Structure 1
Amino acid sequence: MAARRVPAGIRIFTGLAIFVLTFLLMRPSDPATQGQIDFWKKAAGLLGERDVEGFVGIALLVVCTIVTTVGYQVAVRLIEKMLNK
């Protein structure tokens, strides 16, 4: 019996869903609380960045990409495992 693979459409949807969920969970709320503002200012200060808004955007892009890459691999392997039972 040949191993079944996850269809391409499911793979694309899985990657997109993980990226969107990560972005929505990590982005600062509107209006941002003072705790969130302080966190992002300290994080930007640690790396010597003066533009906090730009730093937040770049940080979200990088973190969401990393989480998506790792989460996608895990999700696809779990789906393949379920398909090949």
Structure 2
Amino acid sequence: MIIRRVPTGFRILLGVGIFLLTFLLARPSSPVTAGEREFWIKAASFFGEHDVEGFVGISLLLGCTSVTIIGYQITVRLIERKLNKSK
């Protein structure tokens, strides 16, 4: 029985797509609301950071990367399971 794998190009597009989707959903809105600003200020002060904008950038980078790595692995395994399903 031949094991079918997900093509590399599709894997790259999948990873980039998950990262972009996560980033666009997680970033603060363009005119930041008072609630969002207060949340990020409290989160930055919890970690002892005074630069709120830098904290938002670093947290988005780390959060989106984590979600991408986990979501990528799950999605690729689900696709490979579907491709290799016994008929």
Same structural fold, with TM-score higher than 0.5 when normalized by the shorter chain: yes
Instruction: Tell me which residue corresponds to 2:60.
Output: 60
Identity of aligned residues (%): 64
Paired residues, what number? Answer: 85
Instruction: Tell me which residue corresponds to 1:5.
Output: 5
2:49 corresponds to 1:49: yes
Q: C-alpha root-mean-square deviation of aligned residues, in Å?
A: 0.5
CA–CA separation in structure 2 for the residues paired with 1:19 and 1:66 = 9
CA–CA separation in structure 2 for the residues paired with 1:75 and 1:69 = 10
What TM-score, normalized to structure 1?
Answer: 0.98
2:27 corresponds to 1:34: no
2:60 corresponds to 1:24: no
Specify every segment of 5 or more residues in structure 2 that has no aligned partner in the other structure, as ranges: none
Matching residue's letter, 1:76: V
Instruction: Tell me which residue corresponds to 2:70.
Output: 70
Deviation at 1:2, TM superposition (A): 1.3
CA–CA separation in structure 2 for the residues paired with 1:40 and 1:56 = 7
What do the CA deviations read for 1:8-61 (whole angstroms, capped 9, x no partner)?
011001100000000000000010111100110000000000000000000000
CA–CA separation in structure 2 for the residues paired with 1:11 and 1:67 = 15
